[in-house]
Amino acid sequence: MTRLRVVVLAGGLSHERDVSLRSGARVVHALTSAGLEAIVRDADAAMLGLLRQERPDCVVPLLHGAAGEDGSLREVLELADVAYVGSTPAAARVAFDKPVAKHVVREAGLSTPDSVALRADTFREIGATAVLQALVQRLGLPLFVKPASGGSALGGTAVTCAEALPAAMVTCFSYGSVALIERCITGTEVAVPVLELAAGPQALPAVEIRPDGGVYDYRARYTAGATEFVVPAELPEATAAQCAEVAVAAHRALGLRDFCRVDVIVDSEGTVWFLEANVAPGMTETSLAPLSIQAAGLDVGQVFSSLVRRAVGRRRSDSVA
């Protein structure tokens, strides 16, 4: 088979730069082990020129945060006329905007916690105290406050009492201009990667998340040993099947492509609640997607090699059309 040349884009300028670089390094190693030529490149002012000069067969965008997941980078890759792994710009924009994504999946019949999205300027102009009181009256407690876009739990805070809500909002607005205040569902937190190859989207084994502090925040995500991951998740067979169905249904409803991770939570009654979808899942040594890939009996290099070849074939088909 032709030895394909792949550029993995990692880094960027978001708060998640370090995570992205670690993800990129791991995927480059995996692709190289699978027999492809792979190098990592930062997403900076030189990127477009380098892509035009080097003309790789495919690009794997692994930037986390706005630059890599809001569709903008994918628009640039479209302009460069280069094959790339992952969702289209439009689908990435929808998934990255958590309030919009929640609306889309709810319309598709999935359960997602009630929530309110507020811009920082609206929050200030209308009166913070009155708004916070209305939020608690409407959604109740506990709540979870997080940026409406972004990842790695940056800016997210669990709120169990009304007095803690103002500080949670301030923390959230330090990471983004829009806050998503969501009714906090207690239960088993689960991540379900979805892999889409020739047979269509299929859910990989669910990963159960057990943070030692009870909250799956940035520290719990990227500190080795801070969280216990159980894969496959220790769920009743019917519930595990429902998690898989919800993940695939969300993938389809949001128009995603190739590979994503859908985060859900299972409450005490067995209801599966959609939380969010990630179009560029982390691939670090503590990330969830690689654990699920391995539990499925697959190899990270195999998976990304298949996705690269799928993307190259898709670009060739588009060119012929």
pLDDT tens digits for 109-158? 999 999 999 999 988 888 788 889 999 999 999 999 999 987 657 889 99
**CA distances from residue 89 to 35, 71, 166, 294 in whole angstroms, order as listed:** 29, 4, 34, 29
Structure confidence at residue 81 (pLDDT): 92
The average pLDDT across 63-80 equals 89
Instruction: Please state which architecture CATH assigns to domain 105-110+186-298.
Output: 2-Layer Sandwich (3.30)
The dihedral built from the CA positions of residue 7, 89, 72 and 101, taken in this order, carries a sign that is negative
**Left, alpha or beta for 270 (phi > 0: left; psi -120 to 50: alpha)?**
left
Catalytic, out of 74, 282, 309, 310: 282
Asked whether the predicted pLDDT for residue 292 surpasses 80, the reply is yes
Q: Are 217 and 153 in contact (CB under 8 A)?
A: yes
Q: Which of 42, 70, 208, 276 is catalytic?
A: 276
pLDDT of residue 218: 65
- Give the class (CATH, top level) of 5-85+301-320: alpha beta
User: Which range in 40-54, 209-223, 238-252, 307-321 is most confidently predicted, on average pLDDT?
Assistant: 238-252
The alpha carbon of 28 is separated from its chain's Cα centroid by a whole number of angstroms, namely: 19
The answer to whether residue 26 is catalytic is no
Reading the block at residue 124, the tokens are: 């200030």
Q: Is 175 an active-site residue? A: no
C-alpha to C-alpha distance for 22 and 281, rounded to whole angstroms: 12
With a threshold of 0.95, does the pTM exceed it? no
Is 149 one of the annotated active-site residues of the chain? no
Q: What's the confidence (pLDDT) of residue 220?
A: 66
Lowest-pLDDT range of 23-32, 40-49, 231-240 = 40-49
Q: For position 247, what pLDDT does the model report?
A: 98
Looking up tokens 């999205």 gives 117
Catalytic choice (24, 71, 222, 258): 222
16 belongs to the catalytic site: yes
Where is pLDDT greater, at 114 or 222? Answer: 114
Instruction: Indicate the pLDDT class of residue 45, thresholds 50, 70 and 90.
Output: confident
Active-site residue (options: 20, 115, 152, 292) = 152
- The values of phi and psi at residue 278, to 5°, are -120, 120
Residue 243 pLDDT greater than 60, yes or no: yes
Give CA–CA dist 270/34, Å, rounded: 40
263 pLDDT above the threshold of 80: yes
**Which CATH architecture fits 115-183?**
2-Layer Sandwich (3.30)
Is the pLDDT at 283 greater than 60, yes or no?
yes
Domain ranges of the chain: 5-85+301-320, 105-110+186-298, 115-183
**Mean pLDDT, rounded, of the chain:** 92
Residues 242-249 have a mean pLDDT of 98
Residues whose CB falls within 8 Å of the CB of residue 244, separated by 6 or more in sequence, listed in order? 192, 203, 206
Q: What is the DSSP letter of 204?
A: P
- Give the per-residue pLDDT at 212: 81
- Candidates 11, 12, 14, 16; catalytic one: 16
Could you give the percent of the chain with pLDDT greater than 70? 94
Mean pLDDT of 59-84: 91
Residue 217 in this model has a pLDDT that exceeds 70: no
Residues 200 and 112: their CA atoms lie apart, in Å, by 24
- CB under 8 Å to 265, separation ≥6 — which residues? 185, 186, 187, 188, 189, 190, 272, 273, 275
CA distances from 152 to 17, 50, 172, 207, 320 (A): 11, 29, 13, 16, 39
DSSP string of 157-188? EEE-SGGGHHHHHHHHHTT-SEEEEEE---SE
* Predicted local confidence at residue 227, as pLDDT: 83
Per-residue confidence (pLDDT) for residue 242, from 0 to 100:
98
Quick check: 321 pLDDT over 60? no
- Structure token digits, residue 165: 């809500």
Average pLDDT over residues 248-261: 98
Residue 27 confidence class, pLDDT cut points 50, 70, 90: very high
| CA 175 to each of CA 65, 82, 105, 320: distance values in angstroms, whole numbers, following the listed order | 10, 31, 25, 43
User: Active site includes 276?
Assistant: yes
Respond yes or no: is residue 282 known to be catalytic: yes
Residues 17, 74, 261, 309: which is the catalytic one?
Answer: 261
What is the pLDDT confidence band of residue 201, given thresholds at 50, 70 and 90?
A: very high
